[in-house]
């Protein structure tokens, strides 16, 4: 539960005659992560025919998908039991050739007709602005000695066009006045057509382009174009009806053909990565230990002669090549997405999902504490998760529910409901609602100090989790002398005593630091000892791990060591004080609510309540987003970095149905 799923390495020796049956068993279960034989040092004997088969199946699948797209059909996933064996390429080609022959001609005619209609509509848009101009458009382009351009252009460019053609014989008419884009006619000698063209383009004159068969005045051409568009629409409707009829007739056959070719392609891809010997195939991969027994039984049922060797894998620091499968739980999925955005846990590493499941919503709620707005956020999250409202937020819908719940809890502790606090609740809402714990707006320094205390607790817990990970991985060098090892934790405790002495008895001083300072320990002696340990942590790690040379770089080693100490102290200070933002945003949330009230006024009129409603929507959306970013930042920079390294390999099992993704 607190670690990625336990994995077992599996090696299979498969007789050639059982190859397809065993591959189907491996793919149909969705629990076998294949290792490419190219990384195993297994040399194939001769060319791998399955690579060519996989390419042929892929090309055939694209043809089937194109045909289905033309017919308006969507691929329908099926279960592994709907597949018997790899389909014969020759038979599949014959089937798709037959169907494609029926569909292609109608599809090409439909595509051509749609392009023709688009062209006609474009031409109609060009001719409509000058439909009241009484000019024979066709005659303009047939003169042997004159070159003319009829079109629209920006009014501001007309003087520029006249200037450009000052030395060229021409006639320039405005056929239709318009303050923005008048209709103009430019006429000149055909011998100077290139000069006229360049001048027209530089002045952004958009010429009217019409087919040669459209002759007459613009009004006559527009009428003919509209009639042609209607004819084209009828032709498109008829062709679409033909395709619909063909789609209904071939739907079942195409769906089965696509599924068989699709699965054949997946299996050919997998087999192409098997290690091939003379009469057998070698397959290596990983299986979740909990699924191993069931998979083994199915493999033995698929092949009586198969050889199976299993090798359990320990969770150590040297298991980077083991794929990581996280716990499939829909309630944890939004938290897992937060974690995997930062990094996928290593196989031997603690999965921080359950810790973040608590800390993320709690820290969010502490910064955004309001009973009413929290309930509103829960409602939006639930509707988004069910794809009823704001479907784009479905992936974080459950996370919004969790954060909204804790925002409601802290709103009750802070005595805040829809921004109303203190006497405002009694005055405007008509009931009494006192804070059960503290009012951030009225106890600013206290809430800031409590935020630092909470941060210290979380950081110390993160340090302990780092020790736990190092101990499980038997990485003793980092357990003792790593940046989050025992020496670093000791120095952090000493650092807290220094922080307490600096802040003294101020209200913001963290009480936990004061409690640590009162422990009966010689912090005056321990501080320099742990400081030296932090400075020379690289040297001590080299000693524990047996690396040589112990000192790399001579005098520069000690310069680097001092910088490590300085950087460590600054990092501890910034990490600790960074949690001040939790209290600061709690105060800012209350202050923003007061700002909304100042805009609304004091009289409970309709305008007052409209302002309050809009203000609450704004706070829930805008400030809710900012607090989300700040909560994520605390986890990515202050919390996870202490004990979580990531870098794990994603568990990607063979699947016949790609929709069965890891949760």
Plot region of 46 (φ>0 → left; ψ -120 to 50 → alpha; else → beta): left
Pull the structure tokens for residue 251.
């739907």
Nearest residue to 369 (alpha-carbon basis) of 635, 627, 634, 596 = 627
pLDDT above 90 (res 12): yes
> What confidence tens digit (pLDDT) does each residue in 381-408 have?
999 999 898 888 888 899 999 999 999 9
Q: Which helix (H) or strand (E) holds 200?
A: helix 193-202
Neighbours of 497 (CB within 10 A): 20
Residue 46: the pLDDT is: 46
Short-list 513, 459, 515, CA closest to 489 = 459
Identify the pLDDT of residue 82: 67
Beta strands, E only, 68-135: none
Which residue reads 């050919």 in tokens? 268
Where in the chain is CATH 3.30.70.2750? Answer: 135-216
pLDDT value for 59 = 94
pLDDT value for 130: 67
Give the Cα separation of 183 and 202 in Å (integer): 17
∠ CA(223), CA(224), CA(226), 5° rounding?
A: 65
| Residue 649 preceded by cis peptide, ω within 30 | no
Specify the pLDDT at position 216.
Answer: 72
Q: Quick one: pLDDT at residue 141?
A: 61
For 580-623, what is each residue's pLDDT tens digit? 999 999 999 988 888 888 888 888 889 999 999 999 999 999 99
**DSSP classification of residue 603:** S
pLDDT at position 417: 93
Say if CB 94 and CB 277 are below 8 A apart: no
On the 0-12 / 13-18 / 19+ scale of CB atoms within 10 A, 325 is: buried
Query: Is 155 within 8 Å of 205 (Cβ atoms)?
Result: no
pLDDT above 60: residue 338: yes
pLDDT for the residue numbered 48: 67
Per residue in 427-462, pLDDT (tens digit) is 888 888 889 999 998 899 999 999 999 999 999 999
Residue 227, helix vs strand vs coil = helix
Residue 543 has a pLDDT of 87
Length of the chain, please? Answer: 663
Measure Cα distances from 312 to 7, 13, 65 in Å. Answer: 7, 18, 42
Q: Provide the pLDDT for residue 140.
A: 59
CA–CA distance, 323 with 335 (Å, rounded to integer): 20
**pTM for this model (two decimals):** 0.76
Residue 357's CB is within 10 A of a number of other CB atoms, namely 19
pLDDT confidence bin for 133, thresholds 50/70/90: low
How far apart, in whole angstroms, are the C-alpha atoms of residue 50 and residue 401? 49
**Cα angle: 201, vertex 206, 211; to 5 degrees:** 120
For residue range 515-570, list pLDDT tens digits in order. 999 999 999 999 999 999 998 888 888 888 877 777 666 677 778 888 888 898 99
Phi, psi of 149 (to 5 degrees): -130, 125
In this model, does residue 165 exceed pLDDT 60?
Answer: yes
Tens of pLDDT along 412-427?
999 999 988 887 788 8
pLDDT over 80 (residue 315): no
Give the model's pLDDT for residue 41: 57
Q: Are 649 and 324 in contact (CB under 8 A)?
A: yes
User: Could you give the C-alpha distances from 220 to 120, 143, 212, 223, 285, in angstroms and in order?
Assistant: 14, 21, 14, 5, 74
User: Per-residue pLDDT for 176 more than 80?
Assistant: no
Mean pLDDT of the chain: 87
pLDDT digits (tens, 9 = 90+) for 207-239: 876 666 666 777 787 888 889 899 999 999 999
Q: What is the pLDDT of residue 663?
A: 39
Supply the pLDDT for residue 145: 77
pLDDT category at 45 given cuts 50, 70, 90 is very low
CA distance linking residue 226 with residue 233, whole number of Å: 11
First to last CA, the chain: 14
Residue 465, C-beta contacts closer than 8 angstroms, at least 6 positions apart = 350, 352, 355, 642, 643
How high is the pLDDT of residue 144? 73
Per-residue confidence at 81, pLDDT binned at 50, 70, 90? low
**Class of residue 503 by CB neighbours under 10 A (exposed 0-12, middle 13-18, buried 19+):** middle
Question: Which of 137-141, 367-371, 582-586 has the lowest average pLDDT?
Answer: 137-141
Please report the beta strands in 444-507, taking only residues with DSSP state E, as ranges in sequence order: none
pLDDT at 137: 62
Q: Is the dihedral of CA 349, 353, 358, 359 positive or negative?
A: positive
Whole-number pLDDT of residue 658: 59
**pLDDT bucket at 42, cuts 50 / 70 / 90:** low
Kindly report the CATH number that applies to the domain delimited by 135-216. 3.30.70.2750
Alpha-carbon gap, residue 624 to 370, rounded angstroms = 11
Give the per-residue pLDDT at 3: 86
Core vs surface per residue 75-107: b (16+ CB within 10 A) or e:
eeebebeebeebbeeeebeebbeebbeebeebb
Q: What's the maximum distance between 2 C-alpha atoms anywhere in the chain?
A: 109
Residues 193-210 have a mean pLDDT of 84
């Amino acid at each position: 539960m607190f670690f990625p799923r336990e994995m077992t390495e599996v090696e299979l020796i498969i007789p050639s005659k059982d190859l397809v049956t065993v591959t189907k068993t491996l793919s149909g279960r969705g629990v076998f992560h294949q290792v490419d034989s190219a990384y195993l040092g297994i040399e194939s004997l001769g060319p791998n025919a399955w690579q060519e088969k996989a390419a042929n199946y892929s090309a055939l699948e694209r043809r089937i998908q194109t045909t289905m797209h033309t017919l308006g059909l969507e691929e329908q996933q099926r279960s592994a039991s709907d597949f018997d064996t790899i389909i014969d390429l020759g038979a599949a080609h014959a089937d798709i050739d037959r169907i494609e022959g029926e569909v292609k001609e109608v599809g090409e005619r439909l595509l051509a007709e749609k392009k023709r209609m688009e062209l006609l509509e474009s031409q109609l848009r060009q001719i409509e602005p000058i439909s009241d101009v009484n000019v024979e458009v066709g005659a303009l382009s047939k003169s042997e000695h004159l070159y003319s351009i009829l079109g629209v252009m920006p009014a501001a460019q007309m003087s520029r066009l006249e200037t450009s053609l000052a030395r060229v014989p021409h006639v320039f008419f405005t056929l239709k006045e318009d303050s923005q884009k008048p209709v103009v006619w430019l006429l000149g000698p055909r011998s100077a057509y290139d000069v006229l063209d360049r001048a027209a383009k530089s002045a952004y004159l958009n010429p009217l382009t019409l087919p040669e068969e459209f002759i007459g005045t613009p009004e006559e051409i527009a009428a003919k174009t509209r009639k042609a568009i209607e004819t084209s629409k009828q032709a498109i409707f008829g062709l679409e009806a033909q395709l619909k009829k063909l789609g209904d007739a071939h739907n079942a056959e195409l769906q089965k053909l696509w599924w068989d070719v699709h699965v054949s392609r997946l299996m050919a891809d997998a087999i192409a990565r098997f290690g091939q010997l003379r009469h057998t195939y070698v397959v290596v991969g990983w299986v979740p230990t909990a699924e191993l027994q069931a998979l083994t039984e199915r493999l033995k049922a698929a092949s009586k002669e198969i050889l199976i060797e299993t090798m359990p894998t320990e969770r150590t620091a040297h298991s980077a090549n083991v794929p990581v499968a996280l716990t499939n739980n829909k309630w944890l999925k939004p938290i897992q997405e937060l974690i995997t955005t930062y990094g996928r846990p290593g196989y031997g590493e603690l999965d921080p999902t359950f810790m973040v499941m608590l800390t993320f919503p709690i820290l969010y709620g502490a910064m955004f504490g309001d009973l009413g707005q929290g309930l509103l956020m829960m409602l939006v999250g639930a509707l988004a998760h069910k794809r009823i409202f704001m479907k784009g937020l479905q992936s974080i819908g459950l996370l919004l529910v969790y954060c909204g719940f804790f925002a409601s809890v802290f709103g009750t502790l802070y005595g805040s409901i829809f921004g109303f606090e203190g006497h405002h609740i009694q005055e405007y809402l008509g009931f009494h609602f006192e804070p059960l714990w503290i009012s951030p707006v009225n106890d600013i320094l206290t809430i800031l100090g409590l935020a630092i205390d909470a941060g210290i607790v979380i950081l110390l817990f993160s340090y302990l989790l780092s020790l736990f990970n190092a101990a499980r991985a038997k990485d003793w060098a980092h357990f003792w002398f790593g940046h989050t090892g025992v020496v670093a934790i000791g120095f952090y405790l000493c650092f807290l005593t220094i922080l307490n002495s600096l802040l003294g008895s101020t209200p913001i001083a963290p009480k936990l630091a004061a409690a640590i300072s009162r422990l009966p320990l010689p912090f005056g002696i321990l501080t320099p000892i742990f400081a030296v340990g932090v400075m020379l942590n690289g040297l001590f790690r080299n000693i524990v791990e047996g690396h040589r040379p112990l000192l790399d770089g001579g005098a520069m080693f000690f310069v680097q060591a001092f910088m490590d100490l300085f950087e460590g102290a600054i990092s501890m200070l910034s990490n600790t004080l960074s949690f001040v933002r939790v209290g600061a945003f709690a105060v800012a949330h209350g202050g923003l609510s007061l700002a909304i009230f100042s805009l609304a006024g004091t009289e409970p009129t309709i305008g007052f309540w409209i302002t309050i409603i809009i203000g609450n929507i704004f706070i829930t959306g805008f400030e809710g987003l900012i607090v989300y970013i700040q909560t994520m930042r605390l986890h990515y920079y202050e919390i996870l970095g202490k004990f979580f390294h990531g870098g794990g390999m994603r568990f990607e099992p063979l699947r016949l149905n790609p929709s069965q993704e890891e949760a």
